[in-house]
Structure 1
Amino acid sequence: MKHMPGADPELVLLSHRYEEVERIPLSDMTREEINQLVQELGFYRKETPDAPVPEEFQLAPARPLPSLPLPQAPTADSKTPPERDEGEHPDL
């Protein structure tokens, strides 16, 4: 949590690369609604402030990362090479 005086409170969800995924405004929510939201997003709540966080939650995202479609391998009868982005190394 980062407190910013004068700013409306919002929950900012970041990816594992620290890229912004989503912003959720919190100003119209009660404490109970915010607690429910955080729980629904999959955050782990410790029993006490000094309790350890289970290993499976230490690097866990609030939501699963979007899965990218796997590139399709060319078929044996295909004569055209797979398309590449400009500047992409042919070995990648």
Structure 2
Amino acid sequence: MSETTLNDIPQLRRGFRFQWEPAQNCHVLLYPEGMVKLNDSAAAILGQVDGDRSIAAIVAALRERFPESDGIEEDVLEFLEVARERSWIELH
């Protein structure tokens, strides 16, 4: 498996849906076999994943939204690599 790069374009895998779940009071990732409750950081990242934006564009959007946060690029790359390993997303 190749390393995740800023030029990659992530998209949710078929059958997965990102949404706010009032009953859980958090964002979740729904899929046919279940649900993943997401923390705020994961939700902020997955909320940017649309199948069109590169990881670099996602990082830029999050830097604009959270200018006081350091290490956004590393956090995004690390999270998306885990998401890919768990088969939540595909990279193009």
Asked if Structure 1 and Structure 2 have the same fold, meaning a TM-score greater than 0.5 normalized by the shorter chain, the answer is no
Larger radius of gyration, structure 1 or 2? 1
Which is helix-richer, 1 or 2? 2
Which is strand-richer, 1 or 2? 2
Q: Which has the higher contact order (CA 8 A, sep 6+)?
A: 2
